[in-house]
Amino acid sequence: MLAFLWVAYLYPSWRHFITTIPGILGFVFLYIVPESPRWLLSRGKPDSAEEVMQKLSRWNGSPHTEYALLPGNAKERQDEGHQNENRLMLQQNYEYAQQEQDASRDEEGSIIDLIRKPVLRYRAAILSLQWAGRRRTLVCFMGLAALCMFVMYIVSFGQDRSNYKLTLLVFGKLGICGAFDLIYVLS
């Protein structure tokens, strides 16, 4: 925060300067940081994962630069020692990710699952009991936000009464933020 104060003091048009830096850094990182090999394996791209592993090995100065991540891969090679263990672990991760993807495709949820599955039934019961004590507070926060926004919409304030509008805006924001945070605490 102190650094922002100095930037604001030294550069009067600091908003344009400061707000573009995170975007530029994010855009640069897209090209510098490679995708995770595990992510690529889970998406069915073993050749791309192998290329990333080779680049990382070269960058780290590792003598092991050849990987065969999956059996039956076109670039499969005989490795020794810990590389076989790494390959086995990556293969298991890939198979597990494929099984989870297949299971999630086959399974479609419905409201009946809340009753049919014991874990969901238990969680739904706890959440419904937990909401009992916070309902009034949530209604108050939402009501405050709605009232402030409604008054701001209906009443037109002139230039001389802009403080009233700002006050309503602040209390409306308080209500919205309070309700939003309370929903996280409840759920």
- Which of the residue ranges 99-103, 137-141, 176-180 would you say has the lowest mean pLDDT? 99-103
Q: Are residues 129 and 175 in the same domain?
A: yes
Q: Are residues 90 and 117 in the same domain?
A: no
Q: Are residues 163 and 114 in the same domain?
A: yes
Q: Are residues 18 and 73 in the same domain?
A: no
Residue 126 belongs to domain spanning? 110-187
Asked whether the predicted pLDDT for residue 74 surpasses 60, the reply is no
- Of 67, 84, 106, which residue constitutes the final position of a domain? 106
Q: Are residues 73 and 127 in the same domain?
A: no
What total number of domains does the chain contain? 3
pLDDT of residue 87: 62
Q: Are residues 181 and 141 in the same domain?
A: yes
Q: Are residues 83 and 149 in the same domain?
A: no
Mean pLDDT of 28-43: 81
- Of 61, 86, 106, which residue constitutes the final position of a domain? 106
pLDDT of residue 185: 76
Could you read off the pLDDT of 45-63 as tens digits, one per residue? 878 888 888 888 888 887 7
Asked whether the predicted pLDDT for residue 144 surpasses 90, the reply is yes
Asked whether the predicted pLDDT for residue 145 surpasses 80, the reply is yes
- Of 57, 76, 106, which residue constitutes the final position of a domain? 106
Q: Are residues 42 and 61 in the same domain?
A: yes
Residues 6 or more apart from 148 whose CB is under 8 A from it? 168, 169, 171, 172, 175
Cα separation, 84 vs 86, in Å, equals: 5
Q: Are residues 92 and 123 in the same domain?
A: no
Asked whether the predicted pLDDT for residue 18 surpasses 50, the reply is yes
Q: Are residues 42 and 98 in the same domain?
A: yes
- Which of the residue ranges 35-44, 91-100, 162-171 would you say has the lowest mean pLDDT? 91-100
pLDDT of residue 103: 64
pLDDT of residue 173: 94
Do residues 90 and 42 make contact, with C-beta atoms less than 8 angstroms apart? no
Q: What is the mean pLDDT of the chain?
A: 76
Q: Are residues 100 and 115 in the same domain?
A: no
Q: Are residues 117 and 165 in the same domain?
A: yes
Closest CA to 86 of 73, 74, 68, 100: 68
pLDDT of residue 75: 43
The pTM of the whole model exceeds 0.85: no
Asked whether the predicted pLDDT for residue 130 surpasses 80, the reply is no
